[in-house]
């Protein structure tokens, strides 16, 4: 079968982990009921506190903990592949930081891939309003290695949020065989309004890949606002399904034969000369 259905999940996560997991469970059930074979949760889906360091209290050891148990159990119960947004995983020997780990669970509840976010959002937005972020204060940078995994949708390349601004990562994912790119995110409201759609469509077009982009939305503890508008983008740049500014899901069919035909007829990936 050349087509498979995917879902992106949009949430307004807060500081109550169990409430967030309940909300994620309902949305994953909706995705499975809509026929999705794979669903993508947003960055920080299980916890978004008022301060970056708040997540340290919810750090889990690799392979064990309530968040990872939830993802494994949900994948198995729903018969659904799940990209688990990001999870705060403990850094051996460093109690002050965690990895922002994006894992993939298959429909048997087995984790089959892990990617740790490598580009950390240490910025002050250039508008004079004093909106600052410093992820490196509480997040350890992952190893700069592309992670690609076989799924029912094709070869899935993993990335997270701020990675979207670094096209060289996506070139490496495509070179490693990625057909579909995954971008769980918590894009700020202002940067999202300016760049979210633009960057997602660019990553799709320049790599002739489908893009699955799940985002946080609304207002979170501490007043942080995220953009929403989670979407699924076609390899030619069309947005085939999208959310608005509220929690929910967007679902679309991914056509592998059309993607392959585009790559054959428009062989831009074969024409690169700076690799």
Annotated domain spans of the chain:
3-266
- Mean pLDDT taken over the chain: 96
Within a 10 A sphere around the Cβ of 230, how many other Cβ atoms? 32
Alpha carbon of 117 to those of 159, 181, 183, 227: distances in Å? 7, 14, 11, 20
Whole-number pLDDT of residue 275: 63
Lowest-confidence pick of 124-128, 166-170, 188-192, 247-251: 124-128
Whole-number pLDDT of residue 130: 67
The set of catalytic residues is: 43, 117, 161
- Report, as an integer, the average pLDDT of 176-203: 97
Whole-number pLDDT of residue 126: 78
Within a 10 A sphere around the Cβ of 270, how many other Cβ atoms? 8
Residue 177 has pLDDT above 90, yes or no: yes
Rounded to a whole number of angstroms, the distance between the first and last alpha carbons of the chain is 33
φ, ψ (nearest 5 deg) of residue 222: 85, -5
Arch. (CATH architecture) of 3-266? 4-Layer Sandwich (3.60)
The 8-class DSSP code of residue 99 comes to E
Q: Which residue has the higher pLDDT, 50 or 60?
A: 60
Residue 4 has pLDDT above 70, yes or no: yes
% of the chain with per-residue pLDDT over 70 = 98
- Distance CA(66)–CA(38), nearest Å, equals 21
Q: Mutual orientation of helices 17-33 and 66-78 as an angle, nearest 10°? A: 20
């Amino acid at each position: 079968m050349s087509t498979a259905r995917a879902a992106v999940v949009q949430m307004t996560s807060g500081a109550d982990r169990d409430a967030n997991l309940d909300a994620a469970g309902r949305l994953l059930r909706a995705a499975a009921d809509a026929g999705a074979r794979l669903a993508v949760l947003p960055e920080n889906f299980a916890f978004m506190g008022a301060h970056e360091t708040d997540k340290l209290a919810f750090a889990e050891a690799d392979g064990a903990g309530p968040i990872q148990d939830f993802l494994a159990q949900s994948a198995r119960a729903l018969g659904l592949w799940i990209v688990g947004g990001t999870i705060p995983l403990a850094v051996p020997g460093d109690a002050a930081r965690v990895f922002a780990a994006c894992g993939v669970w298959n429909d048997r509840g087995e984790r089959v891939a892990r990617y740790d976010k490598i580009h950390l959002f240490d910025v002050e937005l250039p508008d004079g309003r004093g909106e600052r972020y410093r992820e490196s204060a509480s997040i350890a940078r992952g190893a700069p290695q592309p992670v690609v995994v076989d799924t029912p949708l094709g070869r899935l390349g993993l990335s997270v949020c701020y990675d979207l601004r670094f096209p060289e990562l996506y070139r490496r994912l495509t070179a490693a065989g990625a057909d579909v790119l995954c971008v769980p995110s918590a894009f700020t409201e202002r940067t999202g309004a300016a760049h979210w759609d633009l960057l997602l469509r660019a990553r799709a077009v320049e790599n002739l890949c489908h893009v699955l982009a799940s985002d946080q939305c609304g207002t979170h503890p501490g007043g942080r606002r995220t953009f929403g508008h989670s979407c699924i983008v076609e390899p030619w740049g069309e947005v085939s399904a999208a959310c608005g500014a509220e929690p929910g899901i967007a679902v679309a069919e991914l056509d592998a034969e059309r993607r392959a035909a585009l790559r054959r007829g428009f062989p831009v990936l074969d024409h690169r000369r700076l690799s």
